[in-house]
Amino acid sequence: MEDHKNYLAHCFDLIAQKLSWGPIATWGTRDFQILSESIHKATGTLLSVSTLKRLSGKVSYTSKPNPTTLDVLAAYLGYPDWRTFVSQEKPDPIQKKEKSTTPKSLQYAKPLLVLALIMLTVLLMIYRKPVNYDANDFEFNAESVSTGIPNSVVFRYNAKAADKDAKVAIQQDWDEGKRVSVNREDSVSTSIYYWPGYFKSKLVVDDSIVKERQILIPTEDWLGTIETDSLPIYLNKTAYQYENRLSTSAETLRSHGVNPLAKHTITGFYLVRDFGSIYTDAFNLSLSLKNNLQSGASPCQAAQIQIMHEDGPISMVLSNKGCISNISLFAFDSIIDGKKNDLSGFGVDMSKGVRLDCVSKDRKMDIRINDTSVFTLNVPKSPKKILGLRILFEGTGTVNQLVLGNDSGVVHSLGSKDGGREK
């Protein structure tokens, strides 16, 4: 049997390359949250943040991973299952296993014991009487208490229809690791959201989702952050927001105790709000951006542009030309991996101003870099409302000339006085 830790380490190295996020050691909780969502979108299976941290080696563990979980990771990388991944991928180096000192009699007994446990588990699953709950018997509502970040959400629920011994929980968003157990006899629970965005919270009874509610955690204006392993560092507006541009500098990071030359650092800009009637099937986004840091621990100078909508993000990554193998494009439940697709059009000189245009029209979305079309995607028939923008930089970066709109006009532009629909 293969050394699963070696193969897991290799697997996550490939995932890091696929997402162009740098070494696993530099990842924070937010990165694992995004990865969990990406895996869910790509495979239909949700792996919790805590599970991903354990498997990646971010958090120590001793137990052997679940085979189903391994299959999901393999599927995310384009393999039919973990067995195929192991047969085709050879991590280097692979540690040699020491010769077993277990007596042969016990060696033969172990497989029999495992088989017995498997049979017992199957029998328990067969004979366990499932409980089918009617969603109409439950109540679940959510309301944020303010505008801005951080923000608390008050969940009001009625789960008395659940069995007395049932496990009742509220899941804050797509991450199963954020399930909080609640008493079926109670009616109120609260949670804190440290990042803005559009979330789908859930009332869960014995792992069955009985109710779901959408939560919009908006920003008052553009929010600037330094992404860390735990909570984001919120920047003062004077440190990044100017009359017609957004910009961070190495000096700003150092003032918060972060040295981007020594440590891989991600900075972000967020704008989350109800823009009105603007949807994924008819919109245009244009902006200019550049990376302000040409040295240190961010050699690829990657920048990620996300358009948030009701069903997930549209995510585009730009990087230096030599790093295009590590980038990917995500939109409408599809992942276009730079390892298996030519994304060279997204390779640019990030030290100079780069123009990006994204136009959705007639069920086609055209992505243009410096006035050249680099990729075209099909847009689903069912339009989803656009609810936010998220721009991330390796190191520091600048955004200007940003305009979001549709055929009816502009809903937001950098430099507009009210930040909303222009007259």
Q: How confident is the model at residue 417 (pLDDT cuts 50, 70, 90)?
A: very low
The CATH architecture of the domain made up of 135-217 is Sandwich (2.60)
Per residue, the 3-state secondary structure of 132-179, as one string, reads CCCHHHCEEEEEECCCCCCEEEEEEEECCCCCCCCCEEEECCCCHHHE
- Could you tell me which of 200, 195, 214, 199 has the C-alpha nearest to residue 148? 195
- For the segment 284-313, the average pLDDT, to the nearest whole number, is 88
Q: Which residue has the higher pLDDT, 153 or 126?
A: 153
pLDDT for position 197:
92
Q: What backbone phi and psi angles, to 5 degrees, belong to 397?
A: -160, 175
Q: Which residue has the higher pLDDT, 202 or 42?
A: 202
pLDDT for position 113:
57
Q: 48-52, 296-300, 310-314: lowest mean pLDDT where?
A: 296-300
Q: Which CATH number fits domain 223-413: 3.40.50.300, 1.10.3720.10, 2.60.120.200, 3.90.1150.10?
A: 2.60.120.200
For the chain, which residues make up each domain, given as ranges? 4-88, 135-217, 223-413
Share of the chain above pLDDT 90, in %: 47
Question: End-to-end distance of the chain based on CA atoms, in angstroms?
Answer: 67
| pLDDT tens-digit readout, 66-81 | 888 898 899 899 898 8
Highest mean pLDDT: which range of 58-72, 247-261, 274-288, 313-327: 274-288
